Amino acid sequence: MEIITYLLNGFAIAFQWHNILFALIGVIIGTAVGVLPGIGPMSGVALLIPVTATMTSGMPTEAAAASSIILLAGVYYGAMYGGSTTSILINTPGESSSVVTTLDGYQMAKQGRAGAALSIAAIGSFVAGIISLIGLILLAKPLSNIALQFGPAEYFSLMLLGLCAVSGLAGKSMTKALIMTVVGLMLGTIGIDTVSGIARFTYDQPVLYGGLEFLTIAVGLFALGEVFKTILEKSDSTQPIAKIKRILPTKQDLKDSAIPITRGSLMGFFIGVLPGAGASIASFFSYITEKKFSKNPDSFGKGNIAGVAGPESANNAASGGAMIPLLTLGIPGSGTTAILMGAFIMYNVQPGPLLFDDHPDIAWGLIASMFIGNLFLLILNMPLVKVFAKVVQTPPKYLLPIIIAISFFGVYAVQYNTFDLYLLLACGFLGYLFSKHDYPVAPLVLALVLGPMMENNMRRALTISNGDWKIFITQPLSLIFIVIAVAWILVPIILKLIGRKVIVTDEG
């Protein structure tokens, strides 16, 4: 009952007219930020902190903090939805957690089902937002205690499991998927080593000291790769783009999406609780899980709606889950929540165990505003599905320059240097070559994200154990993750060998 009282007080704060306005502004800006490739929620929230400080300058400190955090949080979870729009329509991930959505979302758009894909993304985002908020209210402290049990060894093993599970995205060849995984890990080592301070694979080029920007590679491989494919493989007879006759999903679409949305929401929430895991990992794990559970796994990558519903739900739920360690422990669960933590501290509000006691209006007002913001997202985006869906009907001669312009603008807006523009072009051409020769791009992208985090946690674990590698198998959770990872690779191989022996025996 005490929680209900606090939540009602939070709604009293969130329903103040100016906080409703801040929540609305936040989700609108967040959606726009998510649509623009390369900007993402982290950059969007960081850019708006000084703006919100100006907007709330005449308000009392506590009220100003609540309003500012409400707006910034709206940008955060609004961007999680917005990233799906360009992923589905033009194969351009708006931000990193939407990379997986391109795999099936864009194929659905090419089949004339962009409306259904965008609608399911909106519905999945709304359901995931509500589920994660209920979880945030009920499970904040217990889940934070579980997350505290994860040390460097457990994080390393969890990420190793993620890389092994990427064999689920392998397409026709697990070997090619593992090759791409290794390439991604190699690219992730470029830059200054954070432990020793030594430059690795930079060839005395200062521009490489910071490593390769993830979104530059992702946008290049996915968006420009598709541009190169369209240009270089263009046939003489240009096929017209299928007209989109239906905007809302069919009953079958809703039926096919119900379980992936629920599963993705729960998985995303629990992954989001783990500091450092993030929405990108949640969306990858969700996609792999849906493919494993599917009765028709070969349809993934060809326009399966579960490949949109699961990952989109997972990345939105992860944003709610990431708020738990921030609010209850003062530990940011992702880059964006780290920036949100900076906004809290700017207003002399310290996130952590005492936040709900010392500043209940801010904590519960934020949670209540997220209910309102998710409702705004559903109300705003469902009517706009028809507008978004029209984009895919744009003739290629107009659409391709738009994709190129958005890609270059998004990358330059983040990095401010021409090197990344050249890298973008190179990745675009490589994306075309990989696609042509059936090398899956998703494993490379996931390895590029996880590689630096894996290395950091591995080193921390070995430092704790004085260089003893047994720490990875003596820690129970770490051992469980490693066993699952090994099984994920070996079981399909064993089953394939058994199948071959059966065929040979039958023939004999």
- Name residues whose C-beta falls within 8 Å of residue 30's C-beta, 6 or more positions apart in sequence: 41, 44, 74, 75, 76, 77, 78, 79, 80, 81, 82
Note the pLDDT of residue 471: 92
Can you tell me the distance from the alpha carbon of 258 to that of 274, in angstroms, rounded to the nearest whole number?
A: 25
How many residues in the chain?
508
Q: What is the pLDDT of residues 360-393, one digit of tens each?
A: 888 888 888 888 988 888 888 777 766 665 655 5
- Mean pLDDT taken over the chain: 80
- Name residues whose C-beta falls within 8 Å of residue 267's C-beta, 6 or more positions apart in sequence: 282, 285, 286, 289, 314, 317
**Nearest 5°: CA angle at 85, between 418 and 408?**
10
DSSP 302-326: S--THHHHHHHHHHHHHHHHTHHII
CA 475 to chain centre: 28
Can you tell me the distance from the alpha carbon of 269 to that of 350, in angstroms, rounded to the nearest whole number?
A: 24
Can you tell me the distance from the alpha carbon of 216 to that of 208, in angstroms, rounded to the nearest whole number?
A: 13
Q: What is the pLDDT of residues 250-292, one digit of tens each?
A: 888 888 888 999 999 998 888 887 755 667 778 888 888 888 8
Q: Taking the chain (508 residues) in consecutive chunks of 10 residues, what is each chunk's mean pLDDT?
A: 78 89 88 67 70 74 84 84 77 73 85 83 87 81 63 85 66 79 91 84 88 80 81 57 62 87 90 71 86 83 86 86 78 70 79 76 87 86 68 68 79 78 92 87 78 87 91 90 86 77 57
Can you tell me the distance from the alpha carbon of 273 to that of 48, in angstroms, rounded to the nearest whole number?
A: 25
**Please, is 52 exposed, middle or buried when counting C-beta atoms within 10 Å of its C-beta (0-12, 13-18, 19+)?**
buried
Note the pLDDT of residue 240: 43
Q: Which two tokens stand for residue 255?
A: 């039926």
Helix-helix angle 278-293:306-321, to 10 degrees: 140
